A and B are shown apart, each in its own frame.
Chain A
Amino acid sequence: MKDDFAQAFKEEAREQLADLENSLLALEESPEDLGLVGRIFRTMHTIKGSGAMFGYDDIASFTHNVETVYDLVRGGELAVTRELVDLSLAARDRILAMLEASETGGAVDAGLNEQVIDGLKKLMPDGCRGEQRPAAGDDRQAGGRAEAGGRDKGGSALATYRIRFRPEPAMLCRGSNPLSLLRELQELGNCTTVAQTGAIKTLEELEPELCHFFWDLILTTDKGEDAIRDVFIFEDDCQLSLAVIDDGSGQDEGGGYKKLGEILVERGDLTAEQVAELLGARKQFGVLAVEAGILGPESLAPALLEQQHVSGARRQRQEQGQESASSIRVPAEKLDVLVNLVGELVTVQARLTLVAQEFKMHAELVNVAEEVERLIGELRDNALDIRMLPIGATFSKFKRLVRDLSAELGKEIELTTHGAETELDKTVIEKLNDPLVHIIRNCIDHGIETPQERLAGGKPRGGTVHLSAVHSGDSVLLTIKDDGAGLNREAIRAKAIERKLIAQHAELSDKEIWGMIFAPGFSTAAKVSSVSGRGVGMDVVKQAIDGLRGTIEVESAPGRGTAITLRIPLTLAIIESLLVQIGADRFVLPLSLVEECILLSREQIDRQHGRDLLQVRETIVPYLPLRRIFKMAGSPPELQQVVICRIQEKRIGFLVDWVIGGHQTVIKSLGPMYQRVEGVSGATILGDGSVALILDIQAILRGAELETDHSLGILSKDDMA
């Protein structure tokens, strides 16, 4: 059990540390933000507290020192400097190292720890360096009080107040309306009101212009006492008594509240002696008190309400406590198993649908099959959704990378991000980390120039790396853009020729030139730096992205920068697709790219005289006859269908024998034997047990474009080898 807790501590500590890193980096940008300082302090405090609780004394005592520093910052005694952030980040790394050492049983470099602590101590103003802070001076106290007040106002603690509001009788004559005051109070939080009508006289004696009421209120609010007093700010002549009866700290809570007798004593309606006297009897206390004539019913009602109100508020708070535990941690493997099972289920369901179609007369079976289909569809969406994570966590890791690397290389680079909330399958995000690191390292090392070079080029000193994520159909587009020097076309070309990737005089398009950077071992860096230039990098990126069934595009303009766009499918498990047939073989196309399907008769084909073009309404759409591209035997039927897809803003058709319909495709790998096959990205199993291939239509299009280039003599065959 203890191990479980320790494991939970470690996991949480990791999250806290990641959070801490983000806060620190943000603090560096806006050093004045006291909210961030508070957050950092709290994070440190949490790590310290839970560390000590689970026996990580080294972490606790180390963190204590850092926490002390941030307490000073919070009190305004210490300014946020780059040095402080540096040291704090180093401290954060030390905590992580200690955490990891405790897992592996290794030792931590105590020297490094001390360095960090010493550094932090040097930052502290004189007199604060000791472990024990000296007795606080006057202004320190004032600061402390201001801070406490501040916490009250913005604080989140719920407290319950007992308020008695007795308006001055002539209040109504002045045009004040007690009801609006009460309404204002009710807006502050959960409010229970009792109107006291005891003072109302009989009709003959009643002065209609005077207020004869007074009110007892029990209010649970997080706004603080001042907010309550503010409500009555203009009612100086009224009597207002206000007391905190439950400060929300959760202490001495048993879920209930005080006994009625205690409440009445506290409210001053009864004395302790009277209560004690009555307690000897057996009836409900409140009833007894009224019967005994020492307590009017008007005093009993608010006291009873107070009892109900406060116990209600406490119960609610306990429920909220349970609610925060309504998200649970589940090992990732369990989710993977679940998703695999759902994948199997989808395949079986396809078979069921097929069987149901065969026995169409059996309406019951068809109904059940449809019901199952709907449920499995929902189950699949939910199961996949569980594995979805926002990519933001990955983004924030890069902030640190950029900060450290740019400092190491003497460059001034800022990382901006967009779309951190974009969600991707967890397995995809994990596999994206390394390629993104490679690309960003390249941006920093090769892309962005030194401040001197930038100034000479008429650019601002600091460079920017912009990381953005955005949904696009069943994919996410990740763009890594820098405003650096851009790719050097000639250098890449020369290197490609040197490495015999292209022929001496080959004329290549920009796209093809940029594609060269993904060749294995390709690097134009004149010297190998510690960061990059060894030529292991972009080919690894390409491999990783291919493995994710993603694509890479490079755009670059000299002097203006480079943008690398990765198109990554949302999930590696199941996709919506369109099932088509060519001859006896069936293929699936990703539905997200499909725009429409159009019939094409042989007559229409003949009319084009060998051109693979199609007129769709007012536009001309080129199409690729898949039967011919795949060199499949047999002849096509009289009436074929063209599936029109949108690929990178181009509309392009794919000619197939016929379109069968939508299909939920559980993606299966074809294994290493078919790894290098262009045009096919995987396989899936159909309802009848046969295998259909998943077409990579972007690769097919690329292949066709290249072939056209060949046949037009733009490229000689040697160039491609």
Chain B
Amino acid sequence: MSETATAIATAASGVQQFLTFRLGEEIFAVEVAKVREILDVSTITKVPQTPDFMRGVINLRGGVVPVIDLRLKLGLTRTESTVNTCIIVQEILIGDETVVLGTLADSVQEVLDLEGLQIEAAPRIGTKLNTDFLKGMAKHNDGFLMVLDIDRIFAAGDFQSEPELQGDAA
């Protein structure tokens, strides 16, 4: 669904569409409007001297797109590649710039509608996750969905190289 269509749907009913995916045992959701496409995992080229969660870059139709290991970013273990592993390519705001990047997911679930009211603030304890990056949680079927604030994950600016390797930047 296009961004405008989603926006119209949102304005009409307060309903937003989310893409859900699995990281380990947990199910996460991101706004569909931010998702560009979903890819199978191909060769990821690691950029040396970058943090582990920055898995590297891939060739997306002639462009170079960074890939992030969301599990590591959220404090889980490293994503291991399986048949179901895929890359969710999203458009993210870093500063004033729109950046296209891919995040790894253990598997992609479904697209579903959530009403604004359904999303509740995440409790600070009890999730085992860094709640700073969550918009909130929503009840879904028998369990919970973690709604990610994807822009905030990358707004922190901590994706830069490790400080001791910045060398004589002065």
A-to-B contact residues, CB < 8 Å: 344, 347, 501-502, 512, 515-516, 518-519, 585, 629-632, 668-680, 683, 685, 689-693, 699, 702-703, 706, 717, 720-721
Contacts and interface: CB of A to CB of B under 8 A. Distances in A.
21 contacts: A501-B170, A512-B170, A515-B168, A518-B170, A629-B48, A668-B64, A671-B65, A673-B54, A676-B160, A676-B161, A676-B166, A677-B160, A680-B47, A680-B48, A689-B59, A690-B43, A690-B45, A691-B43, A702-B168, A703-B165, A720-B170
Given A673-B54, A673-B159, A683-B64, A585 B167 contact: no
B62 interface: yes
Interface stretch (B25-33, B93-101, B123-131): B93-101
Nearest to A520: B170
B50 interface: yes
Given A670-B57, A685-B59, 19 more contacts: A512-B168, A630-B49, A632-B48, A670-B64, A671-B66, A673-B99, A674-B57, A675-B160, A676-B166, A677-B49, A677-B50, A678-B161, A678-B166, A678-B169, A690-B43, A693-B45, A693-B57, A699-B167, A721-B163
A692 B161 contact: no
Nearest to B45: A691
B19 interface: no
A703 B45 contact: no
Nearest to A512: B168
B58 interface: yes
Interface in B25-74: 42-43, 45-50, 54, 56-59, 62-66
A190 to B, nearest CB: 56
Contacts of B101: 671, 673
List the 6 closest A-B pairs by CB distance, nearest first: A630-B48, A691-B45, A676-B160, A703-B167, A668-B64, A683-B64
Nearest to A688: B43
Given A702-B168, A717-B164, A674 B49 contact: no
Contacts of B46: 585
A425 B159 CA distance: 32
Nearest to A632: B48
Nearest to B54: A673
B165 to A, nearest CB: 6
Contact of A706 (B47, B50, B94, B168): B168
Interface in B65-105: 65-66, 94-95, 97, 99-101
Contacts of B58: 691
A678 B49 contact: yes
A692 B45 contact: yes
A668 B57 CA distance: 11
Interface in B111-170: 154, 159-161, 163-170
A670 B48 contact: no
Nearest to A676: B160
Contacts of A632: 48
Contacts of B47: 670, 674, 677, 680, 693
Nearest to B154: A673
A515 B168 CA distance: 8
Contacts of A671: 64-66, 99-101
Contacts of A706: 167-168
Contacts of B170: 501-502, 512, 515-516, 518-519, 720
A107 to B, nearest CB: 34
Given A519-B170, A691-B57, A702-B168, A673 B66 contact: yes
Given A629-B48, A679-B49, A690-B43, A674 B166 contact: no
Interface residues of B, number: 36
B122 to A, nearest CB: 26
Nearest to B160: A676
Nearest to B159: A673
A516 B46 CA distance: 32
A632 B45 CA distance: 12
A631 B47 CA distance: 11
B109 to A, nearest CB: 26
A165 B56 CA distance: 86
Q: Which of B57, B58, B97, B166 has the most chain A CB within a 10 Å cutoff?
A: B57
B59 A674 contact: no
Contacts of A685: 59, 62, 64
Contacts of B43: 690-691
B48 A683 contact: no
A672 B163 contact: no
Contacts of B160: 675-677
Of B49, B163, B166, B170, chain A has the most CB atoms within 10 Å of the CB of B170
Contacts of A678: 49, 161, 165-167, 169
Nearest to B100: A671
Nearest to A343: B62
Contacts of B167: 678, 699, 702-703, 706
A691 to B, nearest CB: 4
Nearest to A626: B48
A699 B48 CA distance: 13
Contacts of A672: 94-95, 97, 99
Contacts of A683: 45, 57, 64
**Residue of B58, B59, B168 with most chain A CB atoms under a 10 A cut-off:** B168
B49 A344 contact: no
Contacts of B159: 673
Contacts of B57: 670, 674, 683, 691, 693
A721 B165 CA distance: 11
Contacts of B169: 676, 678
A625 to B, nearest CB: 12
A412 B160 CA distance: 46
A664 B66 CA distance: 23
A444 B99 CA distance: 40
A512 B168 CA distance: 8
Most B CB contacts (10 A, CB to CB) among A516, A680, A702 go to A680
Contacts of A679: 48-49
Nearest to A344: B62
Nearest to B50: A677
Contacts of A691: 43, 45, 56-59, 64
Nearest to B63: A668
B106 to A, nearest CB: 22
A690 B59 contact: yes
B70 to A, nearest CB: 14
A345 to B, nearest CB: 11
Contacts of A673: 54, 66, 94, 99, 101, 154, 159
A685 to B, nearest CB: 5
Contacts of A585: 45-46
B154 to A, nearest CB: 8
Which of A632, A678, A680, A691 has the most chain B CB within a 10 Å cutoff? A691
A670 B94 CA distance: 14
Nearest to A717: B164
A344 B59 CA distance: 13
Contacts of A515: 168, 170
B115 to A, nearest CB: 33
Contacts of B63: 668
A674 B45 contact: no
B48 A674 contact: no
A519 B99 CA distance: 27
Nearest to A546: B169
A721 B162 CA distance: 12
Contacts of A676: 160-161, 166, 169
A347 B63 CA distance: 11
Contacts of A690: 43, 45, 59
A688 B160 CA distance: 29
A720 B101 CA distance: 31
Contacts of B95: 672
Contacts of B56: 691
A705 to B, nearest CB: 9
Nearest to A677: B161
Contacts of A518: 170
